[in-house]
């Protein structure tokens, strides 16, 4: 599976932004999609995900109520709608996918085999 992320940019605090990730290749019924982010010098951290075919969504506490993840029915496109952006949301955002991640590992980077190239989001104060 290859992932292509897009939609990053420079915005002001309080603004909204939508990231999109398109997958090519096989996405099984057990395919889980997620977004992570990383600031240089820090570990990659989980942001939001959609679990397997059941479509359960889950979020990091830091983005709950502000970010929404959505996915197309064929699991090929996953979007991250980001509202009320804060300067601390500034990071490189990566989409990720896995045909086999289990629920307990859904928020860990090691659980995902497929990664997009990253898209930079910069939020100015």
Exposed/middle/buried for 41, CB within 10 Å: 0-12, 13-18, 19+? exposed
The 10s digit of each residue's pLDDT in 15-35 is 999 999 999 988 888 899 999
pLDDT band at 53 (very low <50, low <70, confident <90, very high): confident
Nearest Cα residue to 8 out of 85, 111, 71: 85
- Both tokens assigned to 92: 């490189």
How distant, in Å, are the alpha carbons of 24, 40, 92, 118 from that of 13?
33, 20, 17, 21
Q: Are 80 and 18 in contact (CB under 8 A)?
A: yes
Which is it for the CA torsion 5, 95, 15, 123, positive or negative?
Answer: negative
Q: Given this model, what pLDDT does residue 28 score?
A: 84
CA 68 to chain centre: 10
Res. 59: pLDDT tops 90 = yes
Res. 113: pLDDT tops 90 = yes
Q: How far is the C-alpha of 83 from the C-alpha of 17, rounded, in Å? A: 7
The 10s digit of each residue's pLDDT in 65-95 is 999 999 999 999 999 999 999 999 999 999 9
């Amino acid at each position: 599976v290859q992932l292509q992320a897009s939609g990053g940019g420079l915005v002001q605090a309080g603004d909204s932004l939508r990231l999109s990730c398109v997958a090519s290749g096989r996405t099984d019924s057990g395919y889980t999609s997620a977004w992570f982010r990383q600031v240089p010098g820090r570990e990659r951290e989980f942001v939001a995900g959609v679990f397997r075919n059941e479509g359960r969504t889950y979020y990091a506490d830091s983005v709950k109520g502000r970010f929404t993840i959505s996915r197309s029915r064929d699991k090929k496109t996953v979007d991250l709608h980001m509202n009320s952006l804060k300067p601390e949301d500034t990071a490189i955002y990566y989409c990720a996918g896995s045909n086999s991640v289990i629920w307990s590992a859904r928020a860990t980077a090691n659980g995902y085999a497929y990664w997009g190239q990253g898209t930079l989001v910069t939020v100015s104060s």
